[in-house]
Amino acid sequence: MKNLKLFSLAALAVVFLTSCSSVRVIADYDKEANFKTYKTYAFYKTGIDKAQISDLDKKRILKAIDAEMSSRGFVKSEQPDVLVSIFTKERERVDVYNNNFGWGWGWGGFYNPWLWGPGWGGGWGGNNVSTRTEGSLYIDLIDTQNRELVWQGRGVGTLNNIKNIEKKEERIREFVSQILQEYPPAITVAAN
């Protein structure tokens, strides 16, 4: 039984650690857009100004987007093909883990209407509750000629209050990189 408890705790730790570090990504796009024609970009200041995060984090996100776009062959331009905008959302996530079980000595025991006192009882117990901030970063690409959204990527993951600036920047780069891995979309052409 001790090994089962240790296994349960180890499995819980692995699940918790992987859920904290991963970024879940969802992307959507306009299937009529010609993504091959997009070669240049600029940031959409009006949209970025509305993002409800600190100016320092905005700078970090934009710097990470610059690096990703450059690595994909995009060039920043005054006359861009696409505008890049961002926005964010966050929410508190509450996780409840029920990871202890077994038999023990305690008050009450099994229900007996004529007897109340010490007894043996068993079952599940030991709930652990944790809260964490889960955030979403949206990256939008807007076609400048049509003024329409053509691609949107969203990354959802845990945002820890990271005091170490290097780790915070690394986490932001991870978010941006994983979101932009979905761009350009893998468009499949249906056979006629």
What dihedral angle (degrees, nearest 10) is formed by the CA atoms of 175, 33, 188, 41?
Answer: -40
Query: Which is more confidently placed, 26 or 131?
Result: 26
Average pLDDT value over all residues in the chain: 78
Asked whether residue 123 is domain-assigned, the answer is yes
Q: What is the pLDDT of residues 123-170, one digit of tens each?
A: 555 677 766 678 899 999 999 999 999 999 999 998 666 788 999 899
Contact 91, 134 (CB under 8 A): yes
Name the pLDDT band for 182 (thresholds 50, 70, 90): very high
Query: Which is more confidently placed, 176 or 11?
Result: 176
Asked whether residue 109 is domain-assigned, the answer is no
Q: What is the pLDDT of residues 109-120, one digit of tens each?
A: 444 444 444 444
Query: Which is more confidently placed, 101 or 75?
Result: 75
- Angle between helix axes 55-71 and 165-180 (nearest 10 degrees) is 50
CATH number at residue 40: 3.30.160.670
Asked whether residue 4 is domain-assigned, the answer is no
Number of independent structural domains in the chain: 1
Give the length of the chain: 192
Helical residues (DSSP H) of the chain, grouped into ranges? 2-21, 45-50, 55-71, 165-180
Residue 52 has pLDDT above 80, yes or no: yes
Asked whether residue 146 is domain-assigned, the answer is yes
Asked whether residue 187 is domain-assigned, the answer is no
Query: Which is more confidently placed, 48 or 109?
Result: 48
Q: What is the pLDDT of residues 65-74, one digit of tens each?
A: 999 999 999 9
Kindly report the pTM of this predicted structure.
0.69
Query: Which is more confidently placed, 92 or 18?
Result: 92
